[in-house]
Structure 1
Amino acid sequence: MRIQLLGVAAALSLAVALSGCSSGATHAAIGVATGTSSPSPGPAVPSSDQLKSALLTANDLGPSFSVQPSDSASPTNDTGLASGCSELTQLMNQTAPPSSSSGPSQGEDQQVILTGGQTGPFVGEFLSSRPSTVLDQHYPTAVNALKTCKELNIPTGSTTIAFKLGDVDFGSPGSVAKHMTASVQGVPVNGYLAIDRLSPTVAFVYLYIQVAGDNPQAATGYYHQAITKADSVLGLTTPSQAA
């Protein structure tokens, strides 16, 4: 059995929470800030190319991995509505008009989904750059929504996956991580979802899903591998910040 990761990634990208947008005015990945006023000067906001080069690649994870095609790697909200914990699903279910870039004054988004086979593991990484004032305001919203979430019902294709969420510690200061467990047609599905702020201007969302198995060591290892690469490529020197 293969989980259609696109639907899961769409719901779990925490798009609206980090964007600074209201319903109906969000970007398809992790959003953009609205309003016409210019943000106050602050730390440099990484470009789209910089974010892209900081993402994990299939070569980083090993020969069994490949990149999910770009036409299905970008999170969208056209696969149905998530339900469960209200604070998080309200953020998930807000829709966004398509946009290729938010522009250098607002920030950029890049994401990748890497597949390790028909049943996984599936590794999703989402990086967003925003002015520090935007993340200062909206990052805590995403963190608090994920912290309090205990159950998520995620549509993927013709199936809805009912995940139970429990706390897990990935050992990254300031991050929030959840272990997701579910069963689809009697087959166990395990996953991990984490959100972190890598610097004043860079936010990070991580997703790991495995069908018919669970490997917390691999999930944690890929998470730290992603952060280490992003820190190195982007030249981030500020420790991850608590919400």
Structure 2
Amino acid sequence: MRIQMRVPLAAAAASLSLATALSGCGSSATGNAIGAPVAAASSASGSSDVPTADQLQSALLAASDLGPDYTAQPGDSSSPTDTTAPTGCSTLTNLMNSAPSSSPNPAQGPDAQVILQGGQTGPFVGEFLSARPQSVLDRNYPSVVNALRGCQELDFPTGTTQVPFKLSDFDMGAPGTTAKRMTGTVDGVPVNGYLAVNRLSPTVAMVYLYLEVAGDSPQTAKSYFDQAVTKANSALTGSASAASV
């Protein structure tokens, strides 16, 4: 299953690049967050302050949240590298591949990420949080959303082979979320997944990834996404409340 595992890891690294793109420079997008109005998002955090690294880390899913079969992969397994740069959808991949490789940017705010693995071939659940000043997300989040909305194919490398994933619109069931279903094949084995972005608050955005080898479980993907959003909102709201006391 070595090749089959490389694809989920490459896709997870690419998702981290997508999260990092939220803080990238040079965005020309105008207006506030598309699909997640700032006024609505602000009720989730109760604060426009940028969370600390510890607060963001505590907001991530843990293996215990998903069940005894899950383990957390080493932190460096989610780091984007030149060998995991995706291709295909130029508008999206240009954002992802031009994102800073070293994250977070301490001048703007912290990032936090986790990849949870439910067995040798998955499922794989990736959650990537970026905390930035509201003005930064107001500028960059719409570019990420629009690029994902228009993307129909992403190619992820596994060794020397590019594995194409077809992307189609998917309803994750949460207001303000933009999501895609991913379908691909490696050595004749289907690999299916779900990729979503959500602006949790004026200062926090999330990229979510679910991948499964030789299976497809949209309801599980939705369930884990709901858990991720609920935990992040609860943790960050609690942090904001505690800080204000």
Shorter-chain TM range is: 0.7 to 0.9
Shift of 1:98: 2.8
Instruction: Note the aligned Cα RMSD (angstroms).
Output: 2.0
Secondary structure of 2:83's aligned partner: coil
Cα distance in 2 between the residues matched to 1:162 and 1:20: 26
2:227 aligned partner, one-letter code: Q
Counterpart of 1:218? Answer: 220
> Residue 192 and residue 86 in structure 1: after superposition, are their counterparts in 2 closer, same or farther (change >3 A)?
same
Maintained 8 Å contact 2:122/2:211: yes
Secondary structure of 2:82's aligned partner: coil
Shift of 1:8: 1.2
Aligned identity (percent) is: 60
Counterpart of 2:200? Answer: 198
1:106-165 Cα distance to aligned partner (Å, 9 max, x none): 111000000001111000000110000000010000000000000111113344221000
Cα distance in 2 between the residues matched to 1:72 and 1:16: 16
Unaligned runs of 5+ in 2: 28-46, 239-245
Counterpart of 1:52? Answer: 57
More helix by share: 2
Moved more, 162-171 or 79-88: 79-88
Shift of 1:69: 1.1
The answer as to 2:110 corresponding to 1:102 is no
Shift of 1:175: 1.0
Counterpart of 1:183? Answer: 185
- TM-score, normalisation: structure 2: 0.83
Cα distance in 2 between the residues matched to 1:97 and 1:62: 32
Secondary structure of 1:113's aligned partner: strand
> Residue 97 and residue 114 in structure 1: after superposition, are their counterparts in 2 closer, same or farther (change >3 A)?
closer
Secondary structure of 1:217's aligned partner: helix
Cα distance in 1 between the residues matched to 2:135 and 2:234: 23
Higher relative contact order (CA 8 A, sep 6+): 2
Cα distance in 2 between the residues matched to 1:151 and 1:129: 28
Secondary structure of 1:149's aligned partner: coil
Cα distance in 2 between the residues matched to 1:124 and 1:15: 11
Counterpart of 1:26? Answer: none
Cα distance in 1 between the residues matched to 2:58 and 2:5: 27
Maintained 8 Å contact 2:24/2:100: no
**Count of residue pairs brought into register by the alignment:** 216
2:127 aligned partner, one-letter code: E
Maintained 8 Å contact 1:8/1:156: no
Maintained 8 Å contact 1:17/1:141: no
Give 1:6's match in structure 2, choosing from 9, 12, 15: 9
Cα distance in 1 between the residues matched to 2:63 and 2:164: 29
Counterpart of 2:129? Answer: 127
Give 1:160's match in structure 2, choosing from 136, 159, 162: 162
- TM-score, normalisation: structure 1: 0.83
Cα distance in 1 between the residues matched to 2:80 and 2:187: 25
Counterpart of 1:89? Answer: 93
Give 1:67's match in structure 2, choosing from 36, 59, 72: 72
